[in-house]
Amino acid sequence: MWETGFGRQLLPGVVLSGCIAAAASVISSRYGVPAMLMGLLLGMACHFLNESPRLHKGLELVAGPALRFGVALLGIRVAFSDLTHLGWQPLVFLACAVGMTIGVGVIGARLMRIDRSFGVLTGGAVAICGASAAMAISSVLPLSEARQRMTLFTVIGVAGLSTVAMIFYPVVGELLDFSDRDMGFFIGASIHDVAQVVGAGFSVSEEAGNVAVLIKLFRVAMLVPVVLAISWWFSEAKSLTSNTHRLPRVPIFLLGFIALFCLNSTVALPLAMVTTLSNSASILLLMAISALGVRTSLKEVMGIGPRPMILLVMETLFLALLVIGFLSYA
């Protein structure tokens, strides 16, 4: 096996990504820090290994095809029956909130003279599901040297802000005298990463935790239309520039997401199967962010400057205030 092309070119990078992801998972479970953030930081600490040509192909595989496969597997976490329990008003609000948050990102990026791709990337990550959304959106953005740096910066930012929100949003809810159900809605609709939503929701009560997870699942489901819209938007802009018009290709991983969502919505799947596929998605995404970390230097990421971080904080505060406004007047 080692003598084959796979063994020589792909296996070393895949094994490295797996080892970093495993270390990040252990640290996360031990100290309660986001696993994605730890995988990214540990990967960046191993950036010197990126100089080895033996690792390049494997790292590219994990950061590319394996990443998209992991995003596709996220579809198994969502079922239509779960979403119908929320009622139409919260669903309409959440869909509008996602669009408005991305719009704030695009407008803010333009006002701050930042690449609009960065506004789309950060807005989508804040609005949908943090690091997972950032990597999915990044995969359909135009190729550029800055795309990888923007993606890693966004992952670092949303992971850090999610951790802060996990600690302080329950306090904010208490100050606003939210019921457990409203607290769950606030947490699920405004915190970026799934793990932090679970942590914050169940720290309040079981009811708040269940509502928070349900709301978060709808935001995860929004990943499909949002990524499709972003893919169409940039392909349309490219076609206008090149004077060639063609239908944008639908990313295959989104078709996989939709297929698993439909399957989980129509068939009573074994719990063991759902759990295995869901855990596989988490593992692949963690390995992908670890591989991206190895391929990018901290110096390059920090070279992006303070304005993108300001934009990320603005989007986070906008979404939180929007949800508070909805709960106050609904």
Cβ distance 322 to 96 under 8 Å? no
Which residues, 6+ apart, have CB-to-CB distance to 145 below 8 Å?
none
Using 70 as the pLDDT threshold, list the residues of the chain that sit under it: 1-8, 82-83, 145, 236-251, 298-304, 330
Note the pTM of the prediction, 2 decimals.
0.72
Q: Which residue has the tokens 């303070």?
A: 306
Burial of 235 by CB count in 10 Å (0-12 exposed, 13-18 middle, 19+ buried)? Answer: middle
- Output Rg (C-alpha) for the chain, integer angstroms: 19
Q: How many CB atoms lie within 10 A of CB 245?
A: 9
Whether residue 204 contacts residue 187, with contact meaning beta carbons closer than 8 Å, is answered with: yes
pLDDT, tens only, 267-317 = 888 889 889 988 898 888 889 878 877 877 766 666 667 888 899 999 999
**Residue length, the chain?**
330
**Alpha-carbon 68 to chain mean position:** 12
Q: Give CA–CA dist 134/153, Å, rounded.
A: 10
Residue 129's identity, in one-letter code, is C
Residue 320 is predicted with a pLDDT of 95
Query: In this structure, are residues 43 and 22 in contact, taking their beta carbons and an 8 Å threshold?
Result: no
Q: Please give the backbone phi and psi of residue 215, each rounded to the nearest 5 degrees, phi first.
A: -65, -40
How far apart CA 56 and CA 54 sit, in angstroms, is: 6
Decide: 13 and 291 in contact? Cβ < 8 Å: yes
Picking from 255, 286, 263, 256, the residue whose alpha carbon sits closest to that of residue 132 is 286
Predicted local confidence at residue 133, as pLDDT? 84
Maximum Cα–Cα distance across the chain: 66
Tell me how many degrees the CA angle 176-182-185 measures, rounded to the nearest 5.
120
Output the pLDDT for position 53.
83
Q: What's the Cα-to-Cα distance from 302 to each of 112, 116, 309, rounded to whole Å?
A: 17, 19, 10
Q: What DSSP character marks residue 41?
A: H
- Give kind and range of the element (H or E) at residue 49: none
Tokens of 40: 């990214």
Nearest to 260 by CA among 130, 227, 252, 139: 252
